[in-house]
Amino acid sequence: MPAPRTVLLTGAAGGMGTLMRELLPAYGYQLRLLDQLPIEGEPDAITADLSDRDALREAVRDVDAIIHLAGISLEAPFEKILRANIEGTYNLYEAAREAGVRRVVFASSNHAVGFTPRPAETPVPGASLIPLDTPRRPDTFYGLSKSFGEDLASLYWDKHGIETVAIRIGSCFPEPTTVRMLSIWMSPADGARLLHAALTAENVGYTMVYGSSANTRLWWDLSSARALGYEPRDDSEPYAAKLIAEQGELDPDNPDHAYLGGAFCTNPPIWPR
Ligand X SMILES: NC(=O)c1ccc[n+]([C@@H]2O[C@H](COP(=O)([O-])OP(=O)(O)OC[C@H]3O[C@@H](n4cnc5c(N)ncnc54)[C@H](O)[C@@H]3O)[C@@H](O)[C@H]2O)c1
Cβ atoms 5, 63 nearer than 8 A: no
CB of 273 to ligand X, least distance (A): 19
- Any contact of residue 69 with ligand X (CB under 6 A)? yes
Stretch near ligand X under the rule CB under 6 A, chosen from 12-20, 90-98, 153-161, 196-204: 12-20
- Any contact of residue 229 with ligand X (CB under 6 A)? no
Which one of residues 140, 171, 215, 236 is an interface residue with ligand X (CB under 6 A)? 171
- For 79, other C-beta atoms within 10 Å of its C-beta total 11
Which one of residues 49, 151, 221, 256 is an interface residue with ligand X (CB under 6 A)? 49
- Identified catalytic residue from 29, 93, 142, 210: 142
CB of 110 to ligand X, least distance (A): 6
CB of 126 to ligand X, least distance (A): 27
- What is the chain's alpha carbon radius of gyration, rounded to the nearest angstrom? 18
Cβ atoms 103, 162 nearer than 8 A: yes
Active site residue 93: no
**Cis omega (within 30 of 0) for bond into 272:** no
- Any contact of residue 77 with ligand X (CB under 6 A)? no
With CA atoms as reference, report the closest residue to 89 among 74, 71, 115, 64. Answer: 71
**DSSP secondary structure string, 144-156?**
HHHHHHHHHHHHH
Which one of residues 7, 107, 130, 260 is an interface residue with ligand X (CB under 6 A)? 107
Which one of residues 112, 172, 198, 208 is an interface residue with ligand X (CB under 6 A)? 172
Residue closest to ligand X when measured from CB atoms: 14
The H or E element containing residue 47 is strand 46-47
Rule CB under 6 A: which of 130-169 touch ligand X?
A: 169
- Any contact of residue 201 with ligand X (CB under 6 A)? no
Mark 31-56 as b/e (b = at least 16 C-beta within 10 Å): bbbbbbeebeeeeebbebbbebeebb
CB of 125 to ligand X, least distance (A): 27
Q: Can you tell me the distance from the alpha carbon of 28 to that of 25, in angstroms, rounded to the nearest whole number?
A: 5
Residue ranges that bind ligand X, judged by CB under 6 A:
11, 13-17, 35-37, 49-50, 69-73, 84, 88, 107, 109, 169, 171-173
Q: Which residues are catalytic?
A: 142
